[in-house]
Amino acid sequence: MELKSLADPQPRQVARDRMVREQIIARGVKDSHVIQALRKVPRHEFVPESEREEAYEDHPLPIGFGQTISQPYIVAFMTEALTLQPHERVLEIGTGSGYQAAILAQLVDKVFSIEIVESLAQRAKETLIKLGLINVTVRAGDGYQGWPDEAPFDAIILTAAPAHIPQPLLDQLAIGGRLILPLGKTVQKLMLIRRTQEGLRKEELLPVAFVPMTGEAESAPLPE
C-alpha cells in the first residue's frame, strides 16, 4: 500500500534512514521488504507531539493510557519472522499507535487490527487514514476472541503479552498460517507458532518485555 505523501522534513528522513541502518539492518534483519517498510513509514506520526524528537531512537515510547509504541527493532523482527506474502491477510491484536499496522500494510493486501482502548483505536484509525493506508481496518474491542467474521488469517500478531495463548486465535489461523506473540506474565518470551496439516509447531525466539494483554486474557482459564 502506497503511503500518502506528507510534508516530511529532510532531518526526519535522515533520522529514519539512520534508524534502519543502525537498529534494523545492523542487528540482522534481512528482508528487503520489511526494511523498505521501516524506511518509508513515518514513525513520528504515531507518537505524541512531546515524544517526536525520540521517534527514531532505539526504545519504546509512551502513547498514553499506559501503552507504548514498540522498539523499532522488535517491530522489524516480529514482522520479518512472519514471512509475509503480498496476497495475505493479517490480524493484529493490540493496535496501539497504529505503527505496526502501518508496517504490515506495506507488505500485505489486508490488515485487521483490534485495540481494547477505544481512544487509542480512534487515534490510530485517524493516523492511518491521514497516511492513506486504506487497507487497514481498525476496530475497538477485546482481541482475545480474535475477529471470527474475517477468519481465517494467514498471520496473526499480538503486541501485548497474554499469560497463555488464546485458543480463539489458534482456531482462526489458516493452515500454513503463522502466529507471533509475547507470552508470559513476569518473564516473557517471543513465540512463533505455525499451523501445519499435522498440527501446531512452536518456536521460542527471544526474551521480550511487552505490556500485558488486558480484557478477557486476564480472566480466561488456562487451557488444559
Question: Active-site residue numbers?
Answer: 70
Q: How confident is the model at residue 163 (pLDDT cuts 50, 70, 90)?
A: very high
Question: In the predicted model, is pLDDT for residue 86 greater than 70?
Answer: yes
> All 3 cell numbers of residue 139?
476496530
Extract the C-alpha cell encoding 52. 517526536
C-alpha cell at 216: 478477557
C-alpha cell, 220: 480466561
Report yes or no on 2 lying in a domain.
no
**Cβ contacts of 20 within 8 Å, gap of 6 or more:** 35, 38, 39
Q: What is the model's pLDDT at position 129?
A: 96
pLDDT at 218 (0 to 100): 83
Examine the pLDDT at 208 and tell me if it is beyond 70. Answer: yes
Higher pLDDT, 89 or 1: 89
Q: Is 25 within a domain? A: no
Q: Is it the case that residue 224 has pLDDT exceeding 90? A: no
The predicted structure's pLDDT at residue 42: 96
Instruction: Decide which of 120 and 185 is more confident.
Output: 120
Whether residue 1 is contained in a domain is answered as: no
Q: Let me know: does 129 contact 107? Beta carbons within 8 Å.
A: no
**pLDDT at res. 185:** 87
C-alpha distances (whole Å) from 83 to each of 8, 127, 154, 168 are 29, 26, 10, 22
19 occurs within a structural domain: no
Residue 121: phi and psi, rounded to 5, are -60, -45
Looking at the domain assignment, is residue 47 inside a domain?
no
34, part of any domain: no
Q: Is 23 inside a domain boundary?
A: no
Q: What is the per-residue pLDDT across 97-128, written as a single tens digit (0 to 9) for each?
A: 999 999 999 999 999 999 999 999 999 999 99
Average pLDDT estimate for 187-193: 97
Find out whether 91 and 156 touch, Cβ atoms under 8 Å.
yes
Q: What is the pLDDT of residues 67-79, one digit of tens each?
A: 999 999 999 999 9
Among candidates 66, 129, 73, which has minimal Cα distance to 100? 73
Distance CA 142, CA 93 (A): 9
Q: Report the distance separating Cα 157 and Cα 134, nearest Å.
A: 19
Write the CATH number for 157: 3.40.50.150
Domain count, the chain: 1
- Residue 164 near residue 215 (C-beta atoms within 8 A): no
* Four-CA torsion 94, 30, 15, 59, nearest 10 degrees: 40
Task: Assign 3-class secondary structure to 48-106.
Answer: CHHHHHHCCCCCCEEEECCEEECCHHHHHHHHHHCCCCCCCEEEEECCCCCHHHHHHHC
Assessment of whether the complete model's pTM goes beyond 0.85: yes
Structural domain for 210, as ranges: 60-219
CA atoms within 13 A on the CB side of 95: 31
What DSSP assignment string belongs to 118-144?
Answer: HHHHHHHHHHHHHTT-TTEEEEES-GG
| 30 belongs to a structural domain | no
Stretch 159-170: mean pLDDT: 96
